[in-house]
Amino acid sequence: MSTTFQPLTKRSQVVSDKKMTLLERIYLPAILKGMSITLKHFLTPRKATVKYPEQERPRSAVYRGHHVLKRDEQGRERCTACGLCAVACPAEAITMVAAERRKGEENLYREEKYAAVYEINMLRCIYCGDCEDACPKEAIFLTDRIVEADYLRKPFVFGKNELVEPMEKSKRIDVSKRQTPEVLKFKEQRQYSHNR
């Protein structure tokens, strides 16, 4: 049984091992044709390169980059250190140490338990977004920020300093784009313990 595939582009050619004609065996016409193609590319000023540090390629608003730990309306950290993100993480990049909220810290942490230490190893992270899916408190999101390069490994273990968003309202990180209508609809489904 032979299957004919629909060509993806119009550039596909049927190949055969027929005897080459004299003109083909001389190679020169084909070589000159190839050279004219490369010369055309040599002379075109339009280049594909994006000069990265000076110039950035536009990224989608739902790009999965540098994580953020969100605060709620009153500026309290949403994370309750349940560890579901760490369990969900396929790369085992997330670790945390939980602590109990003390009296007088109600303005800092929303829940009675919070993450005293929250670390993501950005070299292990594969930016899949499973932590975001797993989070019952809508505390962790991936954002369209890029994790910058470094010469050492150590700085890639991001702690709360790098992850938690600033307290000031104006400096909060907007993740509304990542909460697409589908996501919001899913979150309304209270039958999943996840969403309660």
Partner 1 sequence: MLATFIFLVIMLLVTLGVAAYETYAERKVAAFMQDRIGPDRAGPFGLLQPIADGVKMFMKEDFIPSTANRKLYFLGPAIAMTTALLTGVVIPWGGTLTFGDATFSLQAADPGIGILYVFAMVSIGVYGIMLGGWASNNKYALYGAIRASSQMISYELAMGMSLVALIMTTGTLSMSGIVDGQLDGLWNVAVQPLGVLLFITCAFAECNRAPFDLPECETELVGGYHTEFSSMKLGFYLFAEYVNMFISSAVISTLYFGGYDIPFLDQKGMDSNLITILGTAALFVKITFFIFLFMWIRWTLPRFRYDQLMNLGWKKLIPLAILNILITGGYMVFNGNVKL
Q: Is 151 in the site for partner 1 (CB under 8 A)?
A: no
* Residue 34 sits in the site that holds partner 1 (CB under 8 A): yes
Span near partner 1 by CB under 8 A; candidates 39-47, 68-76, 127-135, 146-154: 39-47
| Cβ-based nearer residue to partner 1, 5 or 42 | 42
Query: Restricting to residues 3-32, which ones interact with partner 1 according to CB under 8 A?
Result: 31
Among 44, 60, 170, 176, binds partner 1 (CB under 8 A): 44
Among 133, 127, 130, 160, residue whose Cα is nearest residue 145: 127
What's the token pair of residue 47?
A: 């280049």
User: How many binding residues for partner 1 (CB under 8 A)?
Assistant: 14
Q: How far is the CB of 55 from partner 1 (least distance, A)?
A: 11
By CB under 8 A, tell whether 46 contacts partner 1: yes
Angle at the Cα of 164 from the Cα atoms of 93 and 152, rounded to 5 degrees = 50
Other C-beta atoms closer than 10 Å to the C-beta of 71 total 22
Binds partner 1 by CB under 8 A, chosen from 41, 57, 103, 185? 41
* CA-based nearest residue to 159, from 91, 79, 69: 69
In the chain, DSSP finds a helix count (H) and a strand count (E) of 6, 5
Least distance CB 40 / partner 1 (angstroms) = 9
Q: Measured from the CB of residue 51, what is the shortest distance to partner 1 in angstroms?
A: 7
Closest CA to 187 of 122, 137, 112: 137
